[in-house]
A and B are shown apart, each in its own frame.
Chain A
Amino acid sequence: MLDVLYFIIPITIASAAPLIFTAIGGVFSERSGVINIGLEGLMIMGAFIGILFNLFFADTFGAWTPWIALLVAMLVSALFATLHAIASISFRADQVVSGVAINMLGLAVALFSVKMIFGKGQTDFIQQKIPRFNVPFLEDIPIIGPMFFKLVYGSSILAIAVAFIAWFVIYKTPFGLRLRSVGEHPMAADTMGIKVTKIRYIAVLISGGLAGIGGAVYSQTITNDFGHATINGQGFMALAAMIFGKWHPLGAMGAALFFGFAQALAISSSSIKFLEDIPAVYFHIFPYILTILALAGFLGKAKAPKALGKPYVKGNR
């Protein structure tokens, strides 16, 4: 039994990390009132840029490469998210439609570039991966040590840290208060002198940046190359984690960890005695079914930000 946990928990945390980053990105955007269905496309962009930078600059930066790649992926995806921001905030576009366009555009641009640069459908494999290490001292704790602190990816620790930082920013800082007020009642916020448009732009850019990191973490820990199926639903799973976590950063992290657990079970179910008879498909569809149940209120009522999806037009009542 313990062996099973030693095996599954590290996979859980590794598969959850990209979801945590992206889901928290989603929390920022949606808390400001902007639906971001485009998380998948933003993740794709991040995954692609991460691999691209890693391949081209591995010689220059050595072991630092994957970390700088995360930074570059963050910047590029934030830039890419600007499109969604312009459309949905300034141009009053339907946020869902714009998000769908972002998803399609992200995949198309990434694949187009891959074909142009590499002359084939996927990139080469990277040599500098995100390192795994043992956390000193903590790894020696009996039972828990080997479960949580042996051979963890640096990015996983970062993901959990980001969740707590996001919680602090959203609930304990003036910016967070403004962010939430803009998502709940933009007109009231505007009356109080909060710049609705500016806050929403910042929020969507943050969501792009975090989704970019999420994608780059995924491609640099799990697939190690980039092709058409590298990101296949993780963005939507992050969206699901955000909803399941009730638009709260720590809730989103919890949901992402849970979905990571489902993925880990799917990967390893055939090698675990009492799970081997359950077809993997049940684990695959598990997060999606849970999200539907969560939305239907069977798992406790979650309330979306009130102004979600509505463009704010100054002067309208």
Chain B
Amino acid sequence: MSNRMITILVPVVSIFLGLLVGAIVMLISDYNPITGYMALWNGIFGDSYAIGETIRQISPYLLAGLAVAFAFRTGLFNIGVEGQLIVGWFAAAYVGMAFDLPKMIHLPFALIAAAAAGALWGLVPGILKATLKVHEVIVTIMMNYIALHVVNALIKTLSGGGFKLERIHESASLRSEFLSNLTDYSTLHYGIFVALAMVVVMWFILEKTKTGYELKSVGYNENAARYAGMSANKNIVLAMVISGAFAGLGGAMEALGTFGNMSSMGGFTGIGFDGIAVALLGANTPLGVIFGATLFGSLKYGANNMPNEAGIPVEIVSIIIALVIFFVACGYIIRVGLIRLRNKKEAK
């Protein structure tokens, strides 16, 4: 077992432990875990409709995961993905409904508006961190609540006291008849391609550009980067802005693809927080994020089938996701365990 192998095994063990504890919870609650996990499996892969919906669910997770991972790579912890996603959702829904333009202009405009809104929400903690050394974790958490309340108030104002914005115009929609027909009339839309394109964008920025190199350097060792003549402050701000833009696009997936509008929200979507799990599982690499997003998108959508088929509340999947995050956080001890296991084998 090489060290690289152990790095890959840590998340795998975490997922396994999460599923195992999930099974124990089901057992204690008098449910059959086998029936439960069968229902989950069928909910994800059961038929082409389920597969379409699962893929649809993956796209916002991809973007939320990219947002967290990108910030992580530059040494920042962006817990504000949730808020950035909400303002992005709002911006896209607003542009989609308020303007009437040809599709070639309208759709990109709505997407850019979402990214810009998310970027703006990331700019605040970025600037505060860069100029005043304020820790970004607390600021981004506070920004989440500010986003939630402000967007709810804006929806109320724009809809004349109502709880819902008007539907977006067709010209801003990501909906696709082709993809929908292909998957037995699911709501699968083109958003998944936008999300995958962003995976490539993140990879390109980090691996192929000078900016990406600087961002990673600042994340790795701020002082060394500074010594080498890089502007740590500029890079911190830039990293939060790019991270926020990814998150904002995640909101656009919901606004322009899945829902086609925005309703006022009683609480958070949870996508932003799950994005932390996605990024952690993916070791903060673009390719890893695809893996993490696929797992969590599938779990989240497939869970909806559990109450129907096995009578188990969907929250069991939230428990599993939370446990997986928890076990990934405890990666150190899993790593120690794996290394001990390896040493024992080698001794033999």
Point out residues on A near B: beta carbons under 8 Å. 35, 37, 83, 87, 90-94, 96-98, 100-105, 107-109, 111-112, 115-116, 228-229, 232-233, 236, 239-240, 243, 279-281, 284-285, 288-289, 291-292, 295-297, 304
Central interface residue in B153, B276, B322, B332, by most chain A CB within 10 Å = B322
Shortest Cβ distance from A286 into chain B, in angstroms? 10
Report 11 cross-chain contacts, Cβ distance below 8 Å, ordered by A residue. Answer: A37-B137, A97-B276, A97-B325, A100-B273, A105-B323, A116-B29, A232-B267, A279-B153, A285-B146, A292-B124, A292-B134
For the complex, what is the distance from the CA of A285 to the CA of B316, rounded to whole Å?
Answer: 32
Cα distance, A97 to B132, chains bound together (Å)? 24
Knowing A108-B315, A296-B128 are in contact, say whether A101-B145 is a contact too (CB < 8 A): no
Interface centre among B145, B267, B273, B276 (most CB of A within 10 A): B145
Chain A residues with CB below 8 A from B329, complex form: 87, 91, 93-94, 97-98, 101
Contacts A111-B315, A229-B267: A104 and B325 contacting too (C-beta < 8 A)? yes
In the complex, are the beta carbons of B152 and A105 less than 8 A apart? no
B246 contacts partner chain A, Cβ-Cβ < 8 Å = no
- Contact A232/B134 with A94-B329, A108-B315, A284-B149 known, Cβ cut-off 8 Å: no
Q: B273 touching A93 by the CB < 8 A rule?
A: no
Residues in chain B near residue A100, CB distance under 8 A: 79, 273, 276, 325
Report chain B residues within 8 Å CB of A280.
153
Contact of A292 among B142, B280, B328 (CB under 8 A): B142
5 other contacts beyond A101-B322, A107-B318, A108-B321, with CB at 8 A cut-off? A93-B331, A98-B329, A104-B273, A112-B313, A297-B134
Residues of the A chain whose Cβ atoms lie less than 8 Å from the Cβ of B276:
97, 100
Report the minimum CB–CB distance from A63 to chain B (whole Å).
Answer: 33
Task: Given the known inter-chain contacts A97-B280, A101-B323, A108-B322, please indicate yes or no for A281 contacting B139, CB distance below 8 A.
Answer: no
Number of A-B contacts (CB under 8 A): 128
CB of B179 closer than 8 Å to a CB of A: no
Does B90 sit at the interface, judged by CB under 8 A? no
Query: Considering the complex, which residues of chain B in the window 255-291 have a beta carbon less than 8 Å from any beta carbon of chain A?
Result: 266-267, 270, 273, 276, 280
Select from chain B the residue with minimum beta-carbon distance to A237. Answer: B145
Residues of B within 8 A of A83 (CB): 326
- A295 engages B267 (CB within 8 Å): no
B residues less than 8 Å from A91 (CB atoms)? 329-330, 332-333
Q: Within 8 Å CB of B142, what residues of A?
A: 236, 240, 288-289, 291-292
Q: For chain B, residues 101 to 138, give those with C-beta under 8 angstroms from any C-beta of chain A.
A: 124, 128, 132, 134-135, 137-138
B residues near A (Cβ < 8 Å) are 25, 29, 77, 79, 124, 128, 132, 134-135, 137-139, 141-143, 145-146, 149-150, 152-153, 266-267, 270, 273, 276, 280, 313, 315-316, 318-319, 321-323, 325-326, 328-333
A281 with B150: CB separation less than 8 A = yes
Query: Within the assembled complex, what's the spacing in Å between the Cα atoms of A229 and B319?
Result: 17
Q: Are B330 and A93 in contact (CB under 8 A)?
A: yes
Least CB distance from A185 to B in Å reads 19
Nearest neighbor of A90 in chain B, beta-carbon distance: B333
User: In whole Å, how far is B314's beta carbon from the nearest beta carbon of chain A?
Assistant: 9
B24 to chain A, nearest CB (A): 13
A103 to B79, CA, bound (A): 13
Q: B222 to nearest A CB, angstroms?
A: 16
- Chain A residues within an 8 Å CB radius of B330: 87, 91, 93, 98
Measured CA separation A6–B182 after assembly (Å) = 64
- Closest chain A residue to B324, Cβ basis: A101
Are B315 and A285 in touch, CB under 8 angstroms?
Answer: no
Given contacts A105-B326, A112-B319, contact A296 B132 (CB under 8 A): yes
8 Å CB contact of B325 from A90, A101, A291, A292: A101
* A296 and B143 alpha carbons, distance in the complex (Å): 14
A297 to chain B, nearest CB (A): 6
Chain A residues with CB under 8 Å of B153's CB are 279-281
Provide the bound-state CA to CA distance between A295 and B280, in Å.
27
- Does B149 contact A115, Cβ atoms closer than 8 Å? no
Q: Return chain A residues, CB-CB under 8 Å to B77.
A: 96
Partner of B318, one of A90, A92, A102, A108: A108
CB distance from A228 to the nearest CB of B (A): 7
A112–B26 Cα distance when bound, in Å, is 10
Residue pair B149, A239 in contact (C-beta under 8 Å): no
User: 9 closest Cβ contacts across the A-B interface?
Assistant: A108-B318, A281-B153, A104-B322, A105-B322, A115-B313, A93-B329, A101-B326, A112-B315, A288-B142
Decide: B326 and A115 in contact? CB cutoff 8 A: no
Contact of A112 among B128, B135, B141, B316 (CB under 8 A): B316
When distances are taken between beta carbons in the complex, the residues of chain A under 8 Å from B152 are 281
B319: A residues at CB distance < 8 A: 105, 108-109, 112
Known contacts A100-B325, A104-B325; is A236 also within 8 Å of B141 by CB? yes
Contact residues in B for A292 (Cβ distance below 8 Å): 124, 128, 134, 139, 142-143
Bound CA span A98–B323, Å: 10
Contacts of A115 in B (CB 8 A): 313, 315
Collect the chain B residues with CB atoms within 8 Å of residue A92's CB: 332-333
Contact partner of A104 among B79, B132, B318, B331, CB < 8 A? B318
Query: In the assembled complex, which residues on chain A have CB atoms less than 8 Å from the CB atom of B316?
Result: 108, 112
Cα–Cα distance between A108 and B322 once the two chains are bound (Å): 8
List the B side residues contacting A116 at CB < 8 Å.
Answer: 29, 313
CB-CB under 8 A for A281 and B149, given A104-B318, A109-B319: yes
Choice from B145, B266, B321, B325 contacting A236 with Cβ under 8 Å: B145
- B332 cross-chain contacts in A, Cβ below 8 A: 91-93
B43 to chain A, nearest CB (A): 17
Provide the residues of chain A in CB contact with B138, threshold 8 Å: 239-240, 243, 291, 295
Asked if B137 and A97 make an inter-chain contact with CB atoms under 8 angstroms apart, the answer reads no
A228 engages B267 (CB within 8 Å): yes
- Complex CA–CA separation, A93 to B325 (angstroms): 11
Distance between B187 CB and nearest chain A CB, rounded to angstroms: 24
